[in-house]
Amino acid sequence: MTVPVKLLTQVTQAAKTHQPELSVSCSENAIKLTGPFVLSDLRGPFDCYQVELQIPSNFPWHEPTVFETGGRIPKNIDRHVIPSNGSCCLGVWEEWLVNVPGHSFDKLMTGWLYDFFFSQSWFEAKGEWPFGQRSHGKAGIVESYADLLGVTLDAKVIADHLKLLARETIKGHSLCPCGSGKRLRKCHRDSIQLLSNRIRPTMAKRMLNRIASN
């Protein structure tokens, strides 16, 4: 899949605005950013990481792959780096897709990406994560989805909610996914309607497939 011109323009502009020391290159199916990723606050730069970012041509539906290339961050899950390929774990991607309007690369660069490296610096200095942390693997996905849906940490309850949200039409006589045994119209109809406005059927199916495959 060829990289869309609009995406290349978006990524190039975001890098120029927020991380001008990064170099941008483009292959047939991905955009690559390499170089120093600088952390700054109102007083100016205070830390820096050598990085490589690979942005797929179908961003934002597929998440970027991020590597810290300077050897500073240990390659283990306790530092939120995936040992099998050395890539950084920014979070559960569906959470970003649901919570960030517009899905622009600019918002990723100044949000999750910045927060990941800021958290690493904070952990080095203080031995704790500034924004808390999720569990690893499937447990972390369950935690993320439970937060998005506003339900308990129960994989079945989460799956039942997603199965309902995956329908193109949600009818009141459907069983409520909360497990009460009541019909939706007599239980959590209003909250499910609000959720359906945030988590569309395509996204619900994606989340359901992911939780089933982990």
Mean pLDDT, consecutive 10-residue stretches, the chain (214 aa), reads: 92 97 94 98 96 97 97 93 94 96 95 97 96 89 96 93 95 92 94 95 96 82
Helix (H) or strand (E) holding 206: helix 201-213
CA distance 115 to 108: 10
Q: Where in the chain are the domains?
A: 5-126, 138-213
Terminal C-alpha separation, the chain: 27
* Whole-structure pTM value: 0.92
- H helices of 19-169, in order, are 93-99, 105-108, 114-126, 138-149, 155-165
pLDDT recorded at residue 193: 94
**Domain 5-126 belongs to what architecture?**
Roll (3.10)
